[in-house]
Amino acid sequence: MPPALCLLMLLAALCRPAEAMSRQEKQKLRNQVVEMFDHAYQNYMDHAYPADELMPLTCRGRVRGLEPSRGDVDDALGKFSLTLIDTLDTLVLLNKTTEFEAAVRRVLSDVRLDNDIVVSVFETNIRVLGGLLGGHSMAVMLKDGGRHMQWYQDELLHMAKDLGLRLLPAFNTSSGLPYPRINLKHGVRGPETRTGTETDTCTACAGTMILEFAALSRFTGDPVFEDHARRALDFLWEKRQRNSNLVGTTINIHSGEWVRRDSGVGAGIDSYYEYLLKAYILLGDDLFLQRFNIHYASIMKYISQPPLLLDVHIHKPLLPARTWMDSLLAFFPGLQVLKGDIRPAIETHEMLYQVTKKHNFLPEAFTTDFRVHWAQHPLRPEFAESTYFLYKATGDPYYLEAGRTILDNLNRFARVPCGFAAMKDVRTGSHEDRMDSFFLAEMFKYLFLLFAEAEDIPFDVEDYVFTTEAHLLPLSLSMAPNSSSIPSNRTSDEEMDDSNFDWTCPNTRLLFPDPAFPRSLREPIRSAVDKSCPRPAPYREPGMGRPPLRAQDFMANNPEHLELLRRMGVSLIHLKDGRVQLVQHATQAVSAVAAEDGVRFMQEMMELSSQQQKEQLPPRAIQIVSHPFFGRVVLTAGPAQFGTDLSKSATGVRGFVTVAEPYSGCTEITNGEYVRGHIALLQRGQCMFAEKARNIQKAGAIGGIVIDDNEGSSSDTAPLFQMAGDGRSTDDVTLPLLFLFHKEGNILLEALKEYREVEVLLSDKARDRAAIFKGKPLPGTLIEGSVAAQEEEEDCQTEATTPTSFEPVSQTQTSTDESAPAIVAPSQEEAGTAEKLRTEEDGAAGPQAETAQAEEERDSEKTDEPRGDTDSSSQSVDELLADWREDLEAFKQMEKDEL
């Protein structure tokens, strides 16, 4: 069956005429999507272009080399105006033809592809090459229409070929698998390239080239690009595990040996499977469909445990590889729709939808009991993608409501004056200063299509296939000449099983004889997510006797304790990041009995570490609620293990901030008249956190914020910081104390300097702005009724201070500014994730435990007072609220201002 017909059957024939949502409501939501796109795109153009990406919290462009490195994430940036290229075909889809024409002219005049910079082959292919090809497809379509782009002479295609030729040297390996990185100017070989030494790549990185490279070959008539992409796919197919028919996550590009043998449908593998099926749809080659079906049968046999999709080992596929899922697998229900396997698509999508409603966004990773594993959310579009495909396949208005939820959450929690900010932590609602190009390339395409009627779309999307970056490639390329000189390895008859094709291009009339069938699939999954709230395992006392020093009593600044450790053969190693590591050498103990005591002490430390992992407090949020922020800026804050427990406060603590004098807060506060009734700003260092809290509490403060004095520190790169007590009772501290790293603290100080009066809300997580300004006009609501009321879903609670979900403790620091540390247990780094966990390893034999070092008194002089403006009297909350009309007018101008 022709691939285009297959796609039409699957996506069009299943649509049902009955819709619960009116055309007017869909139009309203569609217009809202366009307004949100305009907000993101215009802020990129105003504040970031020609930089690769927008930093929406600081309203500036992200230029690689000028900002602190974020590791592998920055490999997508090549100083080629990434966001503009990635957005080209989105402009056309949203009927912004004039803006598209202007954007194309900008790309042609401003963008250079020969920069001396090392980039990811995978990201550059799907975002830049795909963006240029998608833009070219749209330009040709518009030119053929006779009204627009009449001047266009395939300039974007010429740029695409130039970029394709710059990526080709990456394929010069014995296996044909590409190097993961390449220098756009110098290639991969030679010292000037600063790359070419890598040995490993992810399966998706090597197997997600065929759509763009084949399209480039067929647009230009040069088969070299398609040949190389096919060769890479052939090699991956040959290296699959023959018994399970699964592929691993990471492979050696020279030997073909699997480096990571876990297999799933999420990060590291996802788009490899996607491109096998879509290559068949685009190119019409049955080989790709045959391979996809063989893989798919194994996925459904081993990985799919409806509604879950859990990684397994390729050699032992019945053995789970991990107990959590990453958010990238959210694309898979959409791929199952293209495959025609609707039932598991509905089940998995429903699970993802319930997790989304539980946390407002899909966490970057979550456990099988739907708790947060990694709390970030970089505004990924995969869930919106699957929502669109399921609506196309079923016509069920339930998926329109799911799309409305996505829109509302983006507006309520991610929208900031200069665009949309990624979520640093879905639990607190804190932001990260990033807006990735895929947000504009993918999210708004799928949401617009979800709510659009046929007459709203300027072309027939059924004539195109979406790449993994949602770029549009015409299905007519299947008819273009393919003069590939490299024969592909055909799949043997023995490997084929006709049953694999039962769900490809199905007779859709037989899928849902009962209209209530999809609902019957969703109900049990919704209940499972709602009821999942297991308690952590209780702490068990070590059963090997009582050593002279108990781990729970240990204090790193106690000389007697240090001497006891020395006698037991336990030494302290001071780490550069402020922690200390405990290592035991039995041969250094003063006696065999002392050595045995040391072993027991270390085991007790490990148990204590495990227990503290369950008792770690989650991060808190500092939300700037005064003009001109109005609750849109949320800073990630570290909690204190004493003082007010913000998780038990329904409203949090709200007040104006003022700088304490002395800034260290280590002696009696001298500007008590300004601190009284306010939230005091303090600098870290020179004394213990609990002492700072007592001093500002005595001065009448209602809360405190400690700002790190380590210049350049940021929650973007540092583990969560927790403030412990001072080794004695802290029951007398009754106000909340939160910790900000230097970067986030500077945002607050700069706001205070600029606006003189800054009001903040200290809480366990960011509050909905409607709740903050209850009963008052909501400043900054650009679309009437754009934010629907959302049902408040309370997180599961176990014990009073025990969170139900928390990131691995290896990401957490605890400090007292001189008291005993809590223990941080070492853990292996998880490879292949978007955000790498911070871990420490030690080569010494024997048990070991890591501790957060008790911070010693700083020898160097600290600046005692920042130049904040603390002399002005604070405006009362009532006066501020009475001024909303003026503030609302100011907000309309805010998007053009630098914060």
| Token digits of residue 611 | 């227990």
Question: Which residue type is seen at 91?
Answer: L
Catalytic residue among 364, 436, 807, 855: 364
* Calpha distance 262→325 (Å, rounded): 13
- Non-local (6+) Cβ contacts of 646 within 8 A are 620, 639, 652, 653, 736, 762, 763, 764
| Contact yes or no for 121/104 (Cβ under 8 A) | no
Q: Are 821 and 853 in contact (CB under 8 A)?
A: yes
Alpha carbon distance 595, 37 (integer Å)? 65
Counting every residue, how long is the chain? 899
Do the beta carbons of residue 196 and residue 169 sit within 8 Å? no
DSSP string, 561-627: HHHHHHHTTEEEEE-TTS-EEEEE-GGGSSSHHHHHHHHHHHHHHHHHHHHHHHHPPPPEEEEE-ST
Told to judge if 425 belongs to the known catalytic residues of this protein, a careful annotator would answer no
Burial (CB count within 10 angstroms: exposed 0-12, middle 13-18, buried 19+), residue 16 = exposed
Q: How far apart are alpha carbons 41 and 893 in whole angstroms?
A: 17
SS3 425: strand
| Three-state SS at 873 | coil
673 given a catalytic annotation: no
Give which of 658, 634, 637 is closest to 646, Cα–Cα: 637
C-alpha 679/C-alpha 701 separation (Å) is 6
As a whole number of angstroms, the distance between CA 599 and CA 455 comes to 74
Q: Regarding beta strands 720-723 and 812-815, do their DSSP bridges make them parallel or antiparallel, or are they unpaired?
A: parallel
Q: Tokens at residue 226, please?
A: 């398609």
Active site residue 226: no
Residues 584, 847: contact at Cβ < 8 Å? yes
**Residue 159, Cβ density class (10 Å: 0-12 exposed, 13-18 middle, ≥19 buried):** buried
Q: Report helix angle 382-394 to 444-451, nearest 10.
A: 20
Neighbouring-strand partners of residue 621: 636, 763
Given the residues 52, 74, 75, 123, select the one marked as catalytic: 123
Selecting among 270, 341, 607, 768, the annotated active-site residue is 270
CA distance 803 to 648: 12
Helices and strands counted in the chain (H then E): 27, 33
Cis peptide upstream of residue 17 (ω within 30 degrees of 0): no
Q: Which two tokens stand for residue 171?
A: 């394929």
At 584, give phi and psi (nearest 5°). -110, 130
Q: Which tokens hold the place of 429?
A: 């609602």
Sign of the dihedral through C-alpha 641, 645, 646, 648? positive
For residue 588, the one-letter residue type is Q
Annotation says 495 is catalytic: no
CB contact set of 606 (below 8 Å; sequence gap of 6+): 823, 825, 847, 849
C-beta of residue 612 within 8 angstroms of C-beta of residue 539:
no
> What are the distances in angstroms from CA 749 to CA 454, 680, 871?
50, 12, 15
Q: Considering the candidates 341, 382, 597, 691, report the single residue annotated as catalytic.
A: 382
CA dist., res. 594 & res. 567, Å (int): 7
DSSP characters over 711-727? TT--TTTSPEEEE---S
Closest CA to 154 of 167, 138, 136: 136
- One-letter amino acid at 366 equals F
Closest CA to 445 of 432, 458, 435: 458
Nearest-angstrom CA–CA distance, 485 and 492 = 21
Q: Would you please indicate which residues are annotated as catalytic (active-site) residues?
A: 123, 270, 364, 382
